[in-house]
């Protein structure tokens, strides 16, 4: 079995790529050229009608939505989260959906307010979103501080990968907006998760493929990918 991951550097595809690398699953990475807006073209929209990155092509057909892809990989291949009959499965799912339904959309609105509101109101939207994200990160940090197996535990899970990505981006994006509201050290348990993910061989592979630097999650720098663009 081999997969095709449609990705762009430093996009949500990086969480999926980490999961594939962690499990040693064979895959081909196919660049979606954001400079050419390929994600909005007809060929890509046949895979994902919403025009968002990533898509994972599987023998069962193309999958989109980052959280859905990650959960599918965890359930299909194991060792990336609690099994469906595990006692901690419910806790894992509720926080995975919290990340996918609350944190990720809020960051997307913060980075691309013009897609959601008139330009004259973008500043107010971003102000509200930074407060919302800070509270959400604080809530997630309290859950991580309990050191559950499914978040910051001994074996990394797809939730770890997703969280690390969402903690990387506010330090870097949007480039034209004040980012001083975000400091990873304010969330010590989540900072520990980032440090753990950063030490994995899977992350080394990602650093090389997407030019993310040697501290992509604890001290992010703008990517310098060998091909493609993050925006």
Over residues 80-94, the mean pLDDT reads 98
Closest CA to 27 of 35, 36, 38, 16: 16
Over residues 119-148, the mean pLDDT reads 97
DSSP run (H or E) holding 137: helix 122-145
Has residue 80 got a pLDDT over 70? yes
Q: Hey, what's the torsion of the CAs at 184, 189, 194, 195, to 10 degrees?
A: 110
Over residues 97-104, the mean pLDDT reads 98
pLDDT the model gives residue 66: 98
pLDDT the model gives residue 177: 87
Q: How confident is the model at residue 1 (pLDDT cuts 50, 70, 90)?
A: low
Has residue 11 got a pLDDT over 70? yes
Question: Could you report the per-residue pLDDT of 135-149, keeping only the tens digit for each?
Answer: 999 999 999 999 999
Rounded Cα–Cα distance for residues 144 and 159 (Å): 11
pTM above 0.95, yes or no: yes
**Average pLDDT, rounded, for the chain:** 96
């Amino acid at each position: 079995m081999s997969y095709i991951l449609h990705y762009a550097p430093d996009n949500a595809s990086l969480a999926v790529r980490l999961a594939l690398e962690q499990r040693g699953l064979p895959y081909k990475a196919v660049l979606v050229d954001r400079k050419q807006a390929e994600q909005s073209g007809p060929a890509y929209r046949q895979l994902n009608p919403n025009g968002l990155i990533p898509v994972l092509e599987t023998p069962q057909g193309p999958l989109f939505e980052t959280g859905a892809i990650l959960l599918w990989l965890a359930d299909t291949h194991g060792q990336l989260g609690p099994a469906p009959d595990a006692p901690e499965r419910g806790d894992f799912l509720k926080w995975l959906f919290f990340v996918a339904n609350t944190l990720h959309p809020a960051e997307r609105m913060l980075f691309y307010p013009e897609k959601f509101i008139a330009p004259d109101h973008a500043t107010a939207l971003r102000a509200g979103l930074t407060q919302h994200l800070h509270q959400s990160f604080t809530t997630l940090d309290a859950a991580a501080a309990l050191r559950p197996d499914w978040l910051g535990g001994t074996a990394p899970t797809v939730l770890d990968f997703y969280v690390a990505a969402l903690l990387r981006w506010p330090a870097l994006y949007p480039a034209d907006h004040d980012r001083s509201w975000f400091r990873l050290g304010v969330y010590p348990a989540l900072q520990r998760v980032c440090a753990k993910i950063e030490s994995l061989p899977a992350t080394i592979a990602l650093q090389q493929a997407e030019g993310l630097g040697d501290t992509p999650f604890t001290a992010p720098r703008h990517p310098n990918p060998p091909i493609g663009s993050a925006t």
